[in-house]
Structure 1
Amino acid sequence: MTTIAFIGLGHMGTPMSRNLLRGGHRVLGFDLSADALQALSQAGGQAATSIAHAVGQADVVITMVPTGTHVRQVYEGEAGILAHARPGALLIDSSTIDVESSRLVHDLAAQQGFDMVDAPVSGAVPAAEAARLVFMVGGTAAAFERAEPILQHMGSSVVHVGAAGSGQSMKACNNMMAGMSAITLSETLALARRLGLDEQKVYDVMTHASGNCWMLQSYCPVPGPVPGAPSNRDYAPGFAMSLMLKDMRLAQAAARTVGYETPFAARATQMYEAAVAEGHGGRDFSYMYKIVSGE
């Protein structure tokens, strides 16, 4: 049994920690939310009173917090992870953040002798609950070898994609594609409806033809064809529009660091910005269909 400190028990962190408990590990969790700590305790974990309390007992530390600023806050300083983690502990950051912040924290961890990986995820809350997340892992081969058995309790795919920060780079590219796919598929389905085509027939044909994509097959933005999709739950978020906007902005920032222009992604980012400004940030990002179609 491995003792794991889990910092950040939000919509993703809570089900991820539950799956670690199901895997037979001891989990000490810390979050600013008393409700999140109570949920972990009810699942069989232990609520820590501080970051220091959690990580001081842990063989592995996992963080799942909103932004690069938050990651730096929980790792750095007198109250942070690097000041209180046990010597030899493995550090895993599964937050989705900018590449620069990720590499900075990697460097700080390496300077203090810690193995670390950045391991952002794809799959949103349903995949977190079902332990079917896709982990994109950046770090040394040795650190990945240590992290892989832990991550396998929470995911169906764990891939080492490169050196420190590469997991964040991969996540930026993946979600840029998902964000654009939601818009282009929405345009396609809106046109199909205006041409008098039935959505189920469109789904049946396209999922076996050259127009198929993950967004259509698994997350169809019109109600009906995919029963588990948010479109059949009034667009209650599996992955909120505001989070997709965050990831689209991260992809734009990553592109700027290498001097590469992404005009289609830039336009898609503007559309997500407008959707959030109009008050749709709490809806699933597949609600883009309603915006694009005008329905």
Structure 2
Amino acid sequence: MRRIARSLNNSQYLRAETVGFIGLGNMGGPMALNLARKGGFEVIAFDVNKDSLKKYAKEGLAVCEDVTVLARKANKFVTMLPNSSHVSSVLEGENGLFQKSAKNSLFIDSSTISYHAAIKIYENAKKVNQRYIDAPVSGGVGAATAGTLTFMVGAENKELFQECKNLLQHMGKNIANCEKPGAGSIAKICNNMALGIEMIAVAEAISLGKKLGIDPKVLSSIMNTASGRCWSSEVYNPCPGVLENVPASKGYEGGFACELMLKDLGLAADAAKQASADVPLGNHAKDIYQKLVELGLNRKDFAIVYDVLLNNKLKQ
């Protein structure tokens, strides 16, 4: 393990509560930094990507190259991973953290996974006397960096929610109690289905306006003071040049990849099918993002749907 000094003397290190953080991607990296810098926790981070470890070691995080090291150092953990198979691999199984960590450890999973996967992991955690909480996030990379994320916490009681909040409040601004295991994942799936639909709608409107001759900045300004106002128009506008410091103005690099939006829309579609819920717009949004992935835009930010619509690429 590489330990990077952060002006902590030995007595401070011993007093600090240690948190293991797994997953230093676009979201997880900034989250781990905020937890260490704002929360007073001794954060030890792990990621399978060695370049990510090097990057955040330079930022001052303590990092390790073996996830089982975390089991010996921490009794609270945050996971921020791409999908349920990654979460299960890290937490469950013979060499997973559930088995290797002290009993009654707290595992807060901020990954976006299906409701059924979250419930299964929760039940498996209980069998081995561990505590697993689904607590996915919303807000994007900007909010992760600023520490203003929204957390949707599937805690089974108020005491457990408060224990989670004491940690999550250093990474987020809004910590919502969804009141039962798995409910955080339900909230996230529903929110992201709405987001996918909303982004397409905003992209369609601005694309149409541009083709009819109105400046996208002017149209966006009008929308943001009228009934068309939403997060995708005001905070994460998909048209290049309307807002600075959003992926659309940076070649659609960084941010929330199309392949991840497709994954989330797929989770929503699966959940809707199981619940016999009618989600026609959600299904259509999934089909559109499937097309974007097929066009080779899987790693581009999901706002690139604007460029695709503007240039009639969906017909290709």
* TM-score, scaled to structure 2: 0.89
Cα deviation 1:77-133 (Å, max 9, x = unaligned): 121011011223211011111111111111111222323211111122222111111
1:21 aligns to 2:12 (yes or no) = no
Letter of the structure 2 residue corresponding to residue 97 of structure 1: I
User: Which of 226, 230, 236 is the aligned partner of 2:243?
Assistant: 226
State the partner residue of 1:40. Answer: 56
Cα deviation 1:180-224 (Å, max 9, x = unaligned): 111111111122122221212212211111111111010111123
State the partner residue of 2:234. Answer: 217
Letter of the structure 1 residue corresponding to residue 152 of structure 2: M
State the partner residue of 2:294. Answer: 277
Letter of the structure 1 residue corresponding to residue 275 of structure 2: V
Where does structure 1 differ by over 4 angstroms across 4 or more consecutive aligned residues? none
- Counterpart-to-counterpart distance in 1, 2:273 and 2:210: 38
State the partner residue of 1:160. Answer: 177
1:103 aligns to 2:140 (yes or no) = no
Gaps of 5+ in 2: 1-15
Matches within 5 A, 1:198-277: 198-277=215-294
Aligned residues: 295
State the partner residue of 2:191. Answer: 174
State the partner residue of 1:31. Answer: 47
1:9 aligns to 2:24 (yes or no) = yes
- Counterpart-to-counterpart distance in 2, 1:256 and 1:126: 33
Letter of the structure 2 residue corresponding to residue 17 of structure 1: A
1:83 aligns to 2:102 (yes or no) = no
**Displacement, 1:280?**
0.7
Aligned-CA RMSD value: 1.4
Q: Tell whether the 8 Å contact from 1:116 to 1:143 is kept in structure 2 after alignment.
A: no
More displaced stretch, 37-46 vs 134-143:
37-46
**Displacement, 1:288?**
0.2
Q: Give the fraction of aligned pairs with identical amino acids, expressed as a percent.
A: 36
- Counterpart-to-counterpart distance in 2, 1:229 and 1:73: 33
- Counterpart-to-counterpart distance in 1, 2:239 and 2:59: 35
Secondary structure of residue in 2 paired with 1:162: coil
- Counterpart-to-counterpart distance in 2, 1:30 and 1:104: 24
* TM-score, scaled to structure 1: 0.95
1:149 aligns to 2:166 (yes or no) = yes
- Counterpart-to-counterpart distance in 2, 1:276 and 1:286: 13
- Counterpart-to-counterpart distance in 2, 1:47 and 1:193: 48
**Displacement, 1:164?**
0.7
Q: Tell whether the 8 Å contact from 1:115 to 1:143 is kept in structure 2 after alignment.
A: no
- Counterpart-to-counterpart distance in 1, 2:63 and 2:238: 38
Q: Tell whether the 8 Å contact from 2:26 to 2:254 is kept in structure 1 after alignment.
A: no
Gaps of 5+ in 1: none
Secondary structure of residue in 2 paired with 1:4: strand
Secondary structure of residue in 2 paired with 1:61: strand
Letter of the structure 1 residue corresponding to residue 300 of structure 2: R
**Displacement, 1:35?**
1.8
Cα deviation 1:15-48 (Å, max 9, x = unaligned): 1111111022111122212222223332333222
- Counterpart-to-counterpart distance in 2, 1:12 and 1:214: 18
